[in-house]
Amino acid sequence: MSTNEQRIGEIVAAHAGREGPLLPILHDVQAELGCVDAESERVIAQALNLSRADVHGVVSFYHDFHDHAETRPEVQICRAEACQARGVEALMPGAEKAAGERVKLTTVYCLGLCSAGPAARTGDRLHARLDAKGLATVIGDVR
Amino acid sequence: MIVRISDDALARALGADALAHAFTQKGHTVERTSSWGMHWLEPLVEVGGNAFGPATLGDVEAILDGSSDKAIGEPAKHPFIARQQRLTFARAGKTRPTSLEDYQATGGWAGLRRARQMGGAAIVEEVTQSGLRGRGGAGFPAGIKWKTVANTPGDQKYVVCNADEGDSGTFADRMLMEGDPFALIEGMAIAGEAVGASQGYIYVRSEYPDAIRKLEAALNLCATVIAPFRCEVRIGAGAYVCGEETSLLNSLEGKRGEVRAKPPLPAIEGLFGKPTVVNNVLTLAAVPHILAEGGAAQYGALGIERSKGTMPIQLAGNIRHGGLFETAFGVTLEQLVHDIGGGTDSGRPVKAVQVGGPLGAYLHPDQFDIAFDYEAYTAADALIGHGGITVFDDTADMGHMARFAMQFCAAESCGKCTPCRIGAVRGVELIDRIRAGGRSADAVEAQPVMHNAPKSGRLPEQEIALLTDLCETMKFGSLCALGGFTPYPVMSALTHWPEDFMPGGEGAVQKVLDRNEV
């Protein structure tokens, strides 16, 4: 048994007895292993007595789950209506330049800071009222 | 000295933690409270009853010796707050979010205590009398929904809180969960008491890490208070469509967040096929006030027509005084955007206001006399939705915003129904072609064998007729509000700002629209 398989087994066991445990399990696996790959899907399916297709269907439906681990640090930038109204689109060329190959920029739709956009998120940290310089600093600082 | 600084996610995103640290370093006691909702002043620092904002680390000295020019006086007396009627957000800015002591001292649990003495039928009756309607967007009367669940037999029933606040321009759910989590939990416990449900779930979107943390802390603290009712936080996974109630239920069950056909209503066959109350955060958080002594009558006396009580309105986007404004129904957009919001943050003229999130219509300044009321908005081909108001200045390109609405729908469609899944993609293509000035016949159409295909390509007005048709199909043919309401922003943008779709062709689009009307 591989270490991953053992770890997934522990996660599944931790959620035993919960109603509809698949999403909480997937969140934990994603946090632990950085992704939910085909092998993880197989192990989870077996543990929950589901088909692999069932689990893959769920994993592929949600934006939060990925099939391979991202090695670059990530900056999420909100590009929904309210942040657009506050000029996020004009910041994007500069942000892409600041990110280069090192940082992964992801578009999200709404971080709930709509009165103080443009907004971004790194890990569980939020950043608001960003201008070109502020966003470049957020991107430069992310590890 | 006691220094009060909010620990709301917005304040923290603007440096509230560093400020709190700086005041602690200087030997002061820092209390982390909820946010008053005056977002342009965040981070707001309260010292000895006076507030200062937006504060930076450089202001610490001046705030402490009272010489800071960022003083705004007593926050409760600030015009932005004094003009509001805060019921759901009565504690905003005043209490520490996860302090049971603060919650009890400000009337917490009174509604639940009274509800337990009244029994289910009487609770449902009071909620019905208050006129409370679902704050998630659809505006369905809460009392009627509860009654259906209460009257449906079942050994297991559920109360599900829809906290998947994905609409851009809305943040009231987030502020409530972060600022007054016990109020939401109390509302859920009352709902459980009313319908006979013993288990609750709060489905929070993963984009709200602070709200998740606070709710979990609050649930741990009050487990014995709400017992035998049990409640658990569940985290979404980045799917906008899971804000739709049936899709949310599927997600809670551990499935793809695909929309279910209705009927059966979730009230009859909801979570795991059991009778389920699904209500928005603001609906449930309004309940403790309603169930407190005399609360239902007070609530029902506010508002206009069939829109009773108060609505926490969220002023967002390009607005000078953005934040949370809770007031009775009936306020006009003119008041909200100009008097209260202070116009645009950029100082430029207001061009458009989107009310109700990404699926809400764009309203033109000519329509600003419209009163905040569910029926008035419906009559104007618009919707209140979750009460978010996003302001755009005159640099906004409404053709682009219409395209974005379709693009967003295409990205977030659950894929279950055709009008939404395919219509949104075709909508993006159509808007692109309109903005490109139509298109010529393609290679296939040009073939002699294609007898019925036009050989001259399509003019922009023909593409617009097609887009109008597509919007009709999406509106009436989609399973849920995602595909069904995406036509609102698209058609309202096209109707009010046709020139943004046809650069140089001003008036041409209007002609087509008029003709389609006939």
Tens of pLDDT, residue by residue over B353-362, are 999 999 999 9
Q: How far is B476 from chain A (nearest CA, A)?
A: 25
What would the pLDDT profile of B273-309 be if each residue is shown by its tens digit?
A: 999 999 999 999 999 999 999 999 999 999 988 899 9
Q: What is the pLDDT of residues B93-118, one digit of tens each?
A: 999 999 999 999 999 999 999 999 99
- A vs B, Cβ pairs < 8 A, gives 147
The phi-psi region of residue B54 (left if phi > 0; otherwise alpha if psi is between -120 and 50; otherwise beta) is beta
CB B23 within 8 A of CB B3: yes
Interatomic CA distance for residues B180 and B98, integer angstroms: 7
Residue B496 has which token pair?
Answer: 């009010």
User: What separation in angstroms does the CA of A135 have from each of A71, A131, A140, B39, B345?
Assistant: 21, 6, 8, 20, 19
Contact B254 A109 (CB under 8 A): no
Check residue B306 and report its DSSP letter.
Answer: T
pLDDT of B123 > 90? The answer is yes
- pLDDT, average across residues B505-509: 52
Q: Which of B402, B367, B396, B399 is nearest to B381 (CA)?
A: B367
The whole-chain average pLDDT of chain B stands at 94
Give residue B285's identity as a one-letter amino acid code. A
Residue B273 forms contact with A (CB below 8 Å)? no
Residue B518's pLDDT band (boundaries 50, 70, 90)? very low
Question: Is A6's pLDDT higher than 90?
Answer: yes
Residue B284 near residue B265 (C-beta atoms within 8 A): no
Helix (H, G, I), strand (E, B) or coil at B181: helix
Residues of A in Cβ contact (< 8 Å) with B323? 115
Q: Do residue B10 and residue A65 have CB atoms under 8 angstroms apart?
A: no
Put simply, whether B412 touches A (Cβ < 8 Å) is yes
pTM: 0.95
Give the count of beta carbons closer than 10 Å to the beta carbon of residue B56.
14
* B385 Cβ under 8 Å from any chain A Cβ: no
Contacts of B388 in chain A (CB under 8 A): 82, 114
Phi and psi dihedrals of B323, rounded to 5?
150, -160
Search chain B and give the residue with CA nearest A109: B168
What is the rounded CA–CA span in Å between residue B333 and residue B391? 11
Where do runs of H (alpha helix) occur along B380-438? 398-412, 418-435
Distance from CA of A23 to the nearest CA of B (A): 5
